[in-house]
Amino acid sequence: MGIDRAEHAMRVLNRLIVVPCMLAVFGAACILTYSVAARYFFKTPTEWQDETAVFLLIGATFFSGAYVQSLRGHVGVEAVAALLSKRANRIRMLFVDGLSFLFCAFFAWKSWTLFRQALHEGHTSNSTWGPPLWIPYSVMAAGMSLLTLQLLLEFVSRLAAKEESQ
Q: What is the pLDDT of residues 99-135, one digit of tens each?
A: 999 999 999 999 999 999 999 999 999 988 999 999 9
Alpha-carbon gap, residue 56 to 124, rounded angstroms: 16
Contact 25, 57 (CB under 8 A): yes
Give the model's pLDDT for residue 1.
52
Give the model's pLDDT for residue 44.
87
Alpha-carbon gap, residue 131 to 111, rounded angstroms: 18
Q: What percent of the chain has pLDDT over 90?
A: 69
Task: Check residue 127 and give left, alpha or beta (phi > 0: left; psi -120 to 50: alpha).
Answer: beta
Contact 58, 126 (CB under 8 A): no
pTM for the model? 0.87
Rg of the Cα atoms in the chain = 20
Q: What percent of the chain has pLDDT over 70?
A: 94
**Residues with pLDDT less than 70, the chain:** 1, 74-77, 162-166
Which amino acid appears at position 23 of this protein?
L
Contact 66, 6 (CB under 8 A): no
Give the model's pLDDT for residue 163.
62
